[in-house]
Chain A
Amino acid sequence: MFELLREDDPVRAIAAGAKATTAQQGADVRFIAGGTTLIDLMKLNVETPQKVVDVTHLPFGKIETLPDGGLKIGAMVRNSELAYHPIVRKDYAVLSEAILSGASTQLRNMATTAGNLLQRTRCMYFRDTAMRCNKREPGSGCDAITGVNRSLAILGTSEHCIATNPSDMNVALAALEATIHIQGTKGERSVPIGDFHLLPGNTPQRETVLEPGDLIIHVTLPPPAPGARSLYLKLRDRASYEFALASAAVVVSATGGKITRARVALGGVGTKPWRSPEAETELMGQAATEPVFRKAADAALREAKPQSQNGFKVELAKRCLVHALKLVTQTT
């Protein structure tokens, strides 16, 4: 028997969630906020929770500035509200641009910060229960590796899973070095976004560090880096309303044409939001010129393992990053 439960108190919501056997693929208890992923996957029989806990009334719906100059974003803040927030537009442009480049207005009006962090892959083999998928059904095999894999990942893959993390917001959060704040049965903890999502390895059904009862309560951003400019560039098959083939989130500070700080993350190519310390190292202290950008892009994609149909993504991602770096360092 299916149960939809509304909880207005975080402790009670967490207690309800803690009864689940897993917080990962196939969870028997799920939190629901915007519903844009969960209800979609329930209709496909990919997610079959017995109990769904409505957490939209929990008190995590605010965006607040922090004493250190950073930003605290409530888990229940709708994506559209976050993207259009004046502080986000001004100090964290990459985040606003990333969110607005994804989905449609209708979906962004529904989707939340926490929900977007937990957005599931669009891999069609994951979404179709007639196919084999190690993420959906551990040990069953991966039909994507030998199948239609044009849109799938080239970084962070394993022989068990090549599913892409579809989120644009997560890529921006990676470049902004966001921290995810989680409340669980044992209290609160915070996890840097780089550690929040897991590589598939041989357990692709585990996508995050979340355990049963763990509730994302907010996300914090450090204060904007001095003199930094940021940008999100997304390349896709259509001009709008399409997932990225490759995308780049860049946050760059430069003085006198020299790069003094760079944060780089890629989307559409990784099994998780793909921060590239390799590219950042190549940029640090260098002149903001195309040959330097190209070296950074080569470094970012050095470990890429293309599949049968997505070899083009290696060069596409490089050009995407080079172009993003050009745009963000352009002096107007």
Chain B
Amino acid sequence: MSDQNQRGEKSELEGGSEFGKSTRRTFLSRLGMAGLLVSTRPMIGEPARAESPAPSAPAIEGAIPVTLRVNGKKYDLQIDPRTTLLDCLREHLHLTGSKKGCDHGQCGACTVHVNGRRVNSCLCFAAMYQDHEITTIEGIGQPENLHPIQEAFVSHDAYQCGYCTSGQIMAAVAMLSEPCGPEDAEVKEFMSGNICRCGAYQNIVAAIQSVRQGTNKKKTA
């Protein structure tokens, strides 16, 4: 993600068209910067996003040192001890694939893996997960090398707005190694912790079943 940001920002500096080349995220974070500029708060707290993938934010009162292993990479951070794993991933590591839906463990959009088991990262204090291997959607696959579940979500159109999708995929990937029976009803039960406001459930179940049954066809482009 940070690589993409870097590329996006560079091309804009080189004089490319703002709308043509900036990503949604760089556009939105630019809006955020504008908000900061008109506010009275000094900008010293704003981390330099493009340069450092894991900036240690200075001047957080009561911050504690925390070391996390995320997608095989080690990050040394200074964070407020109340920081949830979700907020830490999104706001400190800028791994924004994990989404904040309800922030109360009810929707599943924040699903990540801890030592291979799926959890709601919004209900974890990041500082409690220092000895664990954390995997986010960014560590599951890449656009050029998708995980079979990701491929199946694409080929089965298993999303509409996409907000819940990373959580759905993380839940589904973990589910592959859980004792789930063969029927659609059992998949629905195992996936019931992930809510889709658009109602893409039929296609989500079909995508997961295609991987379990080995019938998913790779997208031909």
Contact = CB atoms under 8 A, between A and B. Distances in A.
Interface in B53-101: 62, 64, 80-82, 84
Contacts of B82: 2, 4, 42
Contacts of A22: none
A241 interface: yes
A110 B125 contact: no
B124 interface: yes
Contact of A106 (B84, B105, B188): B105
Interface in B108-125: 108, 111, 114, 117-120, 122-125
A321 B151 CA distance: 46
A286 B105 CA distance: 45
Interface in B176-221: 178-179, 188-190, 192-194
A32 B192 CA distance: 26
A126 to B, nearest CB: 14
Q: How large is the interface on A (under 10, 10 to 19, 20 to 34, 35 or more residues)?
A: 20 to 34
A106 B118 contact: yes
B103 interface: yes
B154 interface: no
A110 B129 CA distance: 12
A106 B119 CA distance: 4
A105 B116 CA distance: 13
A6 B129 CA distance: 11
A6 B123 CA distance: 17
Nearest to B122: A39
Given A4-B127, A39-B84, A107 B105 contact: yes
B174 interface: yes
A110 B175 contact: no
Interface string B153-174: 0000000000000000001001
B125 A4 contact: yes
B146 interface: no
B25 interface: no
Contacts of B171: 105-106
B128 A43 contact: no
Contacts of A105: 118, 171, 174-175, 178, 190, 193
Contacts of B179: 84
A109 interface: yes
A2 B128 CA distance: 15
B30 interface: no
A103 interface: yes
B10 interface: no
Nearest to B190: A105
Contact of B62 (A1, A104, A110): A1
A242 to B, nearest CB: 9
Interface in A55-88: 56, 80, 84
Contacts of A110: 119-120, 123-124
A107 B193 contact: yes
A39 B102 CA distance: 13
A35 interface: yes
A32 B125 contact: yes
A165 B125 CA distance: 25
B81 A4 contact: yes
A239 B190 CA distance: 12
14 contacts: A35-B124, A36-B120, A43-B103, A80-B117, A104-B192, A105-B190, A105-B193, A106-B105, A106-B119, A109-B117, A110-B119, A110-B120, A110-B124, A240-B192
Given A4-B64, A35-B125, A105-B174, 12 more contacts: A4-B82, A4-B127, A54-B125, A54-B128, A84-B179, A105-B175, A105-B190, A106-B111, A106-B120, A109-B119, A110-B124, A241-B192
